[in-house]
Amino acid sequence: MSSHNNSSSANDPRQPSSAKPFVPPAVSPQDLPVDYSGFIAVVFGIAGVMFRYKLCSWLAIICCAQSLANMKNVETDLKQISMAMMFGIMGLVTNYLGTARPGTKS
């Protein structure tokens, strides 16, 4: 019985001497999952600018914030998020500060 205890104590993860720091596995940028909230933010941002929909511009800003919070790859995701944020901001600026469309009331 004592030999069983000695072999199990050497591999016991609760022992400080056998604890090893966690090293996450390396994942290439091509294998990362698609950032759907960033893609949806770009679509809403373009729709907000082109069709002058205030709701689409606000949804683009919200999806940008969500995508920024869940960012996996800083280089590629930051480009997409910044582009979507610019479209969302341009849509809000043209909707709220631009001239009114003919035939609509503001």
pLDDT tens digits along 35-89: 899 999 999 999 999 998 999 999 999 999 999 998 877 777 788 899 999 999 9
Instruction: Tell me how far apart the terminal alpha carbons of the chain are, to the nearest angstrom.
Output: 85
Alpha-carbon distance 20 to 30, whole Å? Answer: 29
Could you tell me the residue ranges of all domains in the chain?
35-99
pLDDT recorded at residue 10: 63
pLDDT higher than 60, residue 3: no
- What dihedral do alpha carbons 22, 28, 30, 34 form, nearest 10°? 20
Alpha-carbon distance 2 to 44, whole Å? Answer: 67
Residues 89, 81 contacting (CB under 8 angstroms): no
pLDDT recorded at residue 104: 65
Between residues 101 and 26, which one has the greater pLDDT? 26
